[in-house]
């Protein structure tokens, strides 16, 4: 299992300060949507240069112009680019085509997908690399956890690998590991923790099975 | 009717060169999604300062963290912020709340919305300012025009005003004017035209009824 840190509520400098301390515990650095809205692809370029041990994920949540927008992200140094599961199949296929050109990967964000099972099967046929169940930030206060959807996703036995995001905290890791996912995305669970370095180290050890 | 120019396939400098010539013909300057992916909110700040005669629309296509992401856009000088109709109602309400704080406006992009009539009615109840039918860039080669959806939208007689986007060219303007819309969004129809200044002037005259 890979640990992905979503860096979204920090400035670039704050992100660098944190990542300088914890990047050895992180497999994938996600440049989150709010960070891209604020700063564009500059943090993708910076993190890509500074943390060669980590993959970089550009969480652009593409909804249209799939090949055009994906091209920008992969060219800037992203290894993984996100596209929305609620977008058109043509858009998703455009992202997949560009990913192959750059030997990059495509993560479909299943946030707010309706007819979950049917759409997941359709998306899997488009040749994406990851299907990511994602409890929206705005929905998390209602108490919903992404674990239920992860179980529904894994039950479908897709070709694409599973990823899980949305309010993941340290105490949820054992259940996620038991259920199985290739990527677990953590944001506030590390960034807003009283001791981000310690919790990142602990998550890393749990995920990698280091006792 | 207001003419909105979508600036998305240009660099900031290219956008400035074009806008310096045509901003008198434009009501709303849209900082398009690809431009935000590339440069963040910097073009919103620049265009807001340089073209005080125009409104600025940040086409961020919000999908989650509605209030958090909208706050960034309005604080940077956007007058209108876009949120996706396929997002959660809580997300859209978050954008509406922040817009009221800034005396800004919310445009819901209806791109790829399923159950169109039902969703439009739900969205209208959330107190948004504009409902925008939008034929995806990736879908335009199939020959679909946004005019059919504009008719379906107008038939519902929403409280929100209508907007129309997606492959609008000069020759489509009379039909759109006849159908009625508060905002017409043009991108490639001006930017990729052989004479962008002339076509922008012509569109402006047609829309404002200047003979």
> How far from chain centre, in Å, is Cα A127?
17
For B3-46, what is each residue's pLDDT tens digit?
999 999 999 999 999 999 999 999 999 999 999 999 999 999 99
Q: How many CA atoms lie within 13 A of B62 on its CB side?
A: 33
For A36-88, what is each residue's pLDDT tens digit?
999 999 999 999 999 999 999 999 999 999 999 999 999 999 999 999 999 99
Mean per-residue pLDDT of chain B: 97
For residue B120, is pLDDT > 80? yes
Q: Give the pLDDT score at B211.
A: 73
Mean pLDDT confidence for B118-139? 97
For residue A143, is pLDDT > 90? no
Positive or negative, the CA dihedral A77, B31, B60, A119 is negative
* CA distance to A2, A164, A168, B53, B86, per residue, from A108 (Å): 16, 11, 18, 40, 15
The interface predicted TM-score of the complex, written ipTM, equals 0.97
Helix segments in B40-115, DSSP class H: 42-50, 66-75, 89-102
Closest residue to A63, CB basis, from B42, B61, B88: B61
Give me the percent of chain B exceeding a pLDDT of 90: 97
Mean pLDDT confidence for A134-147? 93
Write out the residues of chain B at the interface with chain A, using a CB-CB cutoff of 8 A.
8-9, 33-34, 36-42, 60-61, 63-66, 68-69, 72-73, 84, 86-88, 90-91, 94, 111-112, 114, 136-139
Q: Give the pLDDT score at B190.
A: 98
Q: What share of chain B is helix, strand, coil (3-state, %, to 5)?
A: 50, 20, 30
For residue A211, is pLDDT > 80? no
Residue appearing with tokens 């073009």? B43
* CA distance to A152, A161, B140, B194, per residue, from A133 (Å): 10, 11, 29, 45
Nearest 10 degrees: CA dihedral of B129, B114, A124, B33?
-20
Write out the residues of chain A at the interface with chain B, using a CB-CB cutoff of 8 A.
8-9, 33-34, 36-42, 60-61, 63-66, 68-69, 72-73, 84, 86-88, 90-91, 94, 111-112, 114, 136-139
Nearest residue of A to residue B76, measured between CA atoms: A38
Q: Give the pLDDT score at B143.
A: 87
Closest residue to B40, CB basis, from A40, A61, A137: A40
């Amino acid at each position: 299992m890979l640990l992905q840190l979503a860096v979204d509520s920090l400035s670039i400098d704050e992100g660098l300060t944190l990542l300088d301390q914890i990047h050895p515990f992180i497999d994938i650095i996600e440049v989150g949507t709010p960070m891209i809205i604020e700063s564009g692809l500059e943090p993708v370029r910076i993190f890509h240069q500074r943390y060669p041990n980590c993959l970089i994920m550009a969480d652009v949540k593409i909804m249209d112009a799939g090949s055009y927008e994906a091209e920008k992200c992969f060219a800037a140094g992203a290894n993984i680019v996100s596209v929305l599961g609620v977008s058109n199949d043509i858009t998703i296929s455009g992202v997949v085509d560009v990913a192959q050109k750059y030997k990059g990967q495509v993560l479909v964000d299943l946030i707010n997908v309706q007819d979950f099972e049917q759409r997941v099967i359709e998306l899997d046929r488009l040749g994406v690399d990851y299907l990511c169940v994602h409890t929206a930030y705005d929905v998390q206060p209602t108490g919903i956890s992404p674990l239920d959807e992860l179980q529904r996703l894994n039950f479908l036995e897709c070709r694409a690998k599973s990823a899980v995001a949305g309010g993941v905290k340290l105490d949820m890791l054992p259940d996620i590991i038991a259920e199985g996912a290739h990527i677990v995305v953590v944001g506030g669970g590390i960034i807003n923790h009283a001791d981000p370095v310690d919790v990142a180290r602990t998550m890393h050890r749990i995920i990698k099975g280091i006792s």
